[in-house]
Amino acid sequence: MEVSPGVSVMEAAINNAVPGIDADCGGFCSCATCHVFVNEQWLDKLPPLGPNEDAMLSLSPDRRENSRLSCQIPVVDALDGLVVTTPEFQF
């Protein structure tokens, strides 16, 4: 999908009706319902995992090494082509 820089991956998913992104907290990093698995080739291009994001991800039984909250990934030009997938369930 085409997304303008400045929004989060979560906002882009919600605005484009992507299934599997619940975003219950609206992007405030206070839940883990926008959990995604980032394709390995993109991990080094993302901002570092912050302590709040790490804490929220720790609530997910599906957490992996490549887990991130999509609300914490800003859309920037360097992420053009970013590939993420969603877990089977959001918690």
Residue 13: CATH number of its domain: 3.10.20.30
In a domain, 1, yes or no: no
Is 1 a residue whose pLDDT tops 90?
Answer: no
Distance CA 47, CA 41 (A): 14
The residue segments making up the domain with residue 76 are 9-85
- Is pTM beyond 0.75 here? yes
pLDDT at 91: 81
In a domain, 25, yes or no: yes
* pLDDT tens sequence across 43-71: 999 999 999 999 999 999 999 999 999 99
What's the half-sphere exposure (Cβ side, CA atoms, 13 Å) at 70? 29
